[in-house]
Amino acid sequence: MPTDHPDGTRSIVISRADIQTPIDIQHQTTNVKTRIQESAINVPTKIAESAINIPTKIAESAINVPTKFVEQAANMETDFKAQSVGVYAQPEWATKEGIQKSDSIFGDEIAEEGSPYSDYTVTTGKTLYITQLSGMLVPSPPVDVPDIDPMAVGITDITASIEYFRVGGDGGCGMALPSPIKIPGGHTVRLYAYNCAPYTVSIISAWWVGYEI
């Protein structure tokens, strides 16, 4: 068989072709240098238990490269030239791509153990990320009862019957959540406030803010 190189290997050039090249490389230390230009290429690649270097240059092509790494230590270096490419941290990406969402409740003359609430159904195909939860309570008349947090606010996924978060405070409470509460599309999320005080309050309110992607 004719060869192109002294070590017995041959060069392969792919140009202007529709080609599918399944590659299965196992238990090898391999260098695969590939240059694909002006072609429509599908390259399903499975790499298992191998040390692989794959320098790849792709120019003016439509390429799909589904790749699965199993139990590997992999380094992937990517150089994009003359492209419109953006890499964002998750909060920045959410701000750029997400739709801002919020919900709130307001109640007046809420008796002891009263609990106004509001429901929001997440858009189908989207995911809601709640990033902040707050609430406020005003007694009527002002009362100081030691060792009691007069109010609580919380978030519940009533579709999945999961209470994600509940926080209480003396007259008010609120926090930016260290990790967003994630509600799947089609689920209904309930925001509620609860009067824990042994008296009627003139105002109780709560709200959450977040984004939907």
pTM above 0.75, yes or no: no
CB 212 within 8 A of CB 98: yes
The ranges of the chain with pLDDT < 70 are 1-96, 140-149
Closest residue by Cα to residue 191 from 200, 201, 199, 181:
181
Output the pLDDT for position 20: 61
Domains of the chain (ranges, CATH numbers):
21-70 (no CATH), 90-212 (2.60.120.20)
CB 102 within 8 A of CB 206: no
Closest residue by Cα to residue 80 from 59, 65, 62:
59
The count of other CB atoms within 10 Å of the CB of residue 208 is: 27
Output the pLDDT for position 212: 94
